[in-house]
Chains A and B, each alone.
Chain A
Amino acid sequence: ETGVTQTPRHLVMGMTNKKSLKCEQHLGHNAMYWYKQSAKKPLELMFVYNFKEQTENNSVPSRFSPECPNSSHLFLHLHTLQPEDSALYLCASSQDSYQETQYFGPGTRLLVL
């Protein structure tokens, strides 16, 4: 195990639902990341938080809303998603955002109906 946990592991939601993904890291890291992984495509960086401050928003639609209450926890709030948002959402952490070695959680497999 990498020390990064994600819940839920699987999620099915309708386009009008509101749900949240949770990530927790037990590594004492200060930076946390959200990535989207779609089939046959490279990992897409969504958000970066460093010491609880958002340092990167990679042109992500507003229907995805991140929250980082502390350096160990990261949330991704979802509302009015589209079917094309179905993907594996991965959380990662690193010592800080200038240390490139990132450690990933197992991901949440999201299906939007």
Chain B
Amino acid sequence: GESVGLHLPTLSVQEGDNSIINCAYSNSASDYFIWYKQESGKGPQFIIDIRSNMDKRQGQRVTVLLNKTVKHLSLQIAATQPGDSAVYFCAENDRPYNQGGKLIFGQGTELSVKP
């Protein structure tokens, strides 16, 4: 069955370094992927998304890379700051966009930024 999972449950980085959070997916039909950030005591916050017709998309200090060949998604955070400390979730849709569907969430990676 479909699943979305993360390679590492925790990631610790030094302030100012770049962070890379990885995600694997198994559903070849997925054509939409999204990253969320969840800080302690808050709901998930949208960070960035990408459709399967793209390999890379950049936002403010964040970049999402999609490798459809190996079904791998990554979130890169440049110059990581203490405020980036949170749990990061990836999610994919379980059916293509034009067939509706719902988001399937990964377990999450906890990012800890050391000052």
Binding site for B on A (CB under 8 A): 2, 4, 6, 40-43, 45, 48, 56, 90, 92, 97-98, 100-107
Q: Which residues of B contact A100 (CB under 8 A)?
A: 32, 34, 49, 93, 97, 101, 103
Q: Which of A90, A92, A98, A106 is within 8 Å of B41, CB to CB?
A: A106
In the complex, are the beta carbons of A106 and B89 less than 8 A apart?
no
| Cross-chain contact B43 with A102 (CB below 8 angstroms) | no
Contacts beyond the supplied A43-B89, A101-B46, A103-B46: 14 A-B pairs with Cβ under 8 Å: A2-B46, A6-B43, A40-B107, A42-B4, A42-B106, A43-B44, A45-B102, A45-B103, A98-B98, A98-B100, A100-B101, A101-B49, A102-B46, A106-B43
A43 and B91 alpha carbons, distance in the complex (Å): 10
Within 8 A of A (CB), among B1-51: 4, 32, 34, 36, 41-46, 49
Q: How many angstroms between the C-alpha atoms of A105 and B107 in the bound complex?
A: 19
- Rounded to whole Å, the gap between the CB of B106 and the closest CB of chain A is 6
Residue of A nearest to B100 (CB): A98
Main secondary structure, interface of A, reads: loop
A106 partner residues in chain B, CB cutoff 8 A: 41-43
In the assembled complex, which residues on chain B have CB atoms less than 8 Å from the CB atom of A107? 42-43
Contact pick for B103, options A6, A40, A102, A103, CB 8 Å: A102
Q: Contact between B97 and A43 (Cβ–Cβ < 8 Å)?
A: no
Q: Which residues of A contact B4 (CB under 8 A)?
A: 42
CA distance A7 to B46 in the complex (A): 21
A103–B37 alpha-carbon span in the complex (Å): 11
5 A-B pairs within 8 Å (CB atoms) are namely A101-B49, A103-B46, A104-B43, A104-B45, A105-B43
Nearest B residue to A4, CB-CB: B43
